[in-house]
Amino acid sequence: MQDGNAFAVSAGGKISGSREKGLNRVLEILEFLHTTQRAIGIGDLAKGVNAPRSTTYTLVRSLVDAGLLELEGDGNRVYFGKKLYLYGMDYVRGNDLLRRGRQEVDNLSRETGETSELCMLQSGRYTIVHASPGTRPFRISSATGLQIPLPWTASGRLLLAGLERAEIEAMVSDDDLVLPDGRKLKLDDFIADIAKARVTGYCVTSGLVDAYTKCLAVPVFSAPGKVEATMCLVVPIDTSEERTASLIGLLRDRAARLSIAG
Amino acid sequence: MQDGNAFAVSAGGKISGSREKGLNRVLEILEFLHTTQRAIGIGDLAKGVNAPRSTTYTLVRSLVDAGLLELEGDGNRVYFGKKLYLYGMDYVRGNDLLRRGRQEVDNLSRETGETSELCMLQSGRYTIVHASPGTRPFRISSATGLQIPLPWTASGRLLLAGLERAEIEAMVSDDDLVLPDGRKLKLDDFIADIAKARVTGYCVTSGLVDAYTKCLAVPVFSAPGKVEATMCLVVPIDTSEERTASLIGLLRDRAARLSIAG
DNA sequence: TACACGCGTCTCTTGTAAGAGACAATCGTA
DNA sequence: TACGATTGTCTCTTACAAGAGACGCGTGTA
């Protein structure tokens, strides 16, 4: 008895995890739906989160009854429910920074015609919290809720400003340092970037996420020195020096507004 | 053993419920935060949902780690977290009707100057899913996420159109039939209203929620005969017949747009 | 027609999570 | 300074939820 851990290897050879807490299963389910971004059958859901079918059925039933999930169409697929939307709006209401930040981002993209985003750290990950597409013919990729490795972005460098080296290391995995095109950043360079971004008060990265855009980002402070969020513009990589500088000026101006009461 | 139910009356005389499933506790916590609409201390939270303190601490920790809740300010109070906001946005993205409905409501209130709302059934309850305040000096009460007894509203009459009498009875409690001013509706009258609203294709109620407003509502269909939502305008009770008629025309027009692809 | 598959429901067992309660630390206040 | 109240953590017990698996049903396809 009590070997402290009930993992076991079944005859088939695959690891059969021990009993999981229902709440954890639910959290996995939600996260899974967040990544799929669409309704999914309950059977597939069980497979997706690697949970027993019977358990998944009971949990989904609870969640549907509670309104956190909704049965889609034929009644076989599930996705997020109205309740989550309502809770999300509650969050927005209780969060001045987010509310005003969204507004500001919408303004920015309308005024400049460029894609504009509000970004935050979300459990240690870089997250696009709100995005507003620009008016350019080719749509620059960006979607609300998208999570991207911190080192790939200008905002990431600002969000980590003020953290200890150890904290940064803890947040950045080796994989995160590998760019989409295969290049690998050096951790020291990244940390140096962060320090630099901190003193300059803005950050520009070129051709990191893709080869055709650069990203201009500025910090939004919730308290002196505490970076709560960033606002950024995603522009074509060949944008002129002058325009870039002017856009950064605009960004800093707007971010300052947010920071005041933030 | 096995009396099938572990409720017990402690010496103090108060009912000590049996063990509760963690997930249910969590659902209660979320619902509680939704009603308080503000951050709350963990101790108070435990009291609020009538859960043991130790349990509440563990659950809240899980939820905070998952990002569904966030620690506010001093780290003692909790409220909804970014993750819920992201899930909520996922819901919006997956829901054309809601997305376009919000837009339409914003348009309506801008064009008419009146308070406009999008309403839906949410686990059997009438819910204001999105609201846009009008330009009138006295602000007409209405908040996103607010839940109100069905019989108090014009929208409620439309949302129940097409349901069997038994289904309606199941959704409406006796308390729901008592208006804020103490008057009590008769269930039969309410059901008659529903039938009438169904054939006329709109519904107007005067002085139900309060004595100074009337509510003009029209249905939005997700499928022929299936009322998925309502759009409504909340106007002063002395609004003229002509204006009322014209507003209803406008509402029907906009609702029809929504219904097409809904 | 037979077979394989996925779905939704149910039953039974047991590993474990919910809860009671004790504890030290902190706070306000008298 | 002493107190009652509250806060966050921890331990231990047992009631019960998670999970395995069987079942019946509908469906596609050979």
Name the band, by pLDDT with cuts 50, 70 and 90, for residue A222.
confident
Interface probe, candidates A34, A35, A37, A80, chain B, greatest B C-beta count within 10 A: A80
From chain B, the residues in CB contact with A91 under 8 A are 79-82, 84-85, 88
Number of separate helices (H) and strands (E) present in chain B: 9, 11
C-alpha B262/C-alpha B259 separation (Å) is 5
Pick the closest to residue B190 from B210, B218, B212, B171 (CA basis).
B171
Q: Does the C-beta of A25 come within 7 A of strand D? A: yes
Alpha helical stretches, state H, chain A: 22-36, 42-49, 53-66, 82-93, 96-112, 154-159, 165-171, 187-200, 241-261
Instruction: Encode pLDDT of B195-250 as tens digits.
Output: 999 999 999 999 898 888 999 999 999 888 889 999 999 999 999 999 999 999 99
Q: Verify whether the Cβ–Cβ distance A82 to B144 is below 8 Å.
A: no
From chain B, the residues in CB contact with A66 under 8 A are 27, 123
pLDDT, position A7 = 34
- CA–CA distances in Å: residue A124 to residues A99, A156, B67: 22, 11, 10
Give me chain A's average pLDDT, please: 87
C-alpha A12/C-alpha B99 separation (Å) is 47
Name the band, by pLDDT with cuts 50, 70 and 90, for residue B32.
very high
Q: Verify whether the Cβ–Cβ distance A91 to B80 is below 8 Å.
A: yes
Q: Does the C-beta of B243 come within 7 A of strand C? A: no
Which of A87-96, A114-123, A143-152, B251-260 bottoms out in mean pLDDT, i.e. has the lowest?
A143-152
Residues 19-38/B with CB within 7 Å of nucleic chain C are 19-22, 25
Name the band, by pLDDT with cuts 50, 70 and 90, for residue A141.
low
Mean of pLDDT values over B80-100: 94
Name the band, by pLDDT with cuts 50, 70 and 90, for residue A176.
very high
Pick the closest to residue A218 from A177, A179, A247 (CA basis).
A247
Amino acid at B17: G
CA dihedral B42, B46, B47, B51 (to 10 degrees): -170
User: A215 with A83: CB under 8 angstroms?
Assistant: no
Instruction: Encode pLDDT of A15-44 as tens digits.
Output: 335 688 889 999 999 999 999 999 999 999
A37 lies within 8 A of chain B by CB:
yes
List A residues 180-239 in contact with B (Cβ-Cβ < 8 A): none
Which of A88-97, A105-114, A135-144, A230-239 bottoms out in mean pLDDT, i.e. has the lowest?
A135-144
> Is the pLDDT reported for residue A63 higher than 50?
yes
C-alpha A15/C-alpha A2 separation (Å) is 19
A85 lies within 8 A of chain B by CB:
yes
Name the band, by pLDDT with cuts 50, 70 and 90, for residue B38.
very high
Top-confidence residue, A259 or B245: B245
Name the band, by pLDDT with cuts 50, 70 and 90, for residue A226.
confident
Q: Which of A83, A92, A145 sits opposite B122 (nearest CB)?
A: A83
> Is the pLDDT reported for residue A73 higher than 80?
no
Name the band, by pLDDT with cuts 50, 70 and 90, for residue A146.
confident
Q: Would you state the structure tokens that stand for residue A58, as one six-digit string?
A: 């009971």
Instruction: Encode pLDDT of B59-78 as tens digits.
Output: 999 999 999 999 987 778 99
Top-confidence residue, B10 or A256: A256
pLDDT, position A139 = 65
Q: Which residue of A has its CA nearest to B60?
A: A23
Top-confidence residue, A223 or A92: A92
> Is the pLDDT reported for residue A8 higher than 50?
no
- CA–CA distances in Å: residue B13 to residues A157, B10, B16, B47, B102: 59, 5, 9, 18, 50
Mean of pLDDT values over B148-160: 94
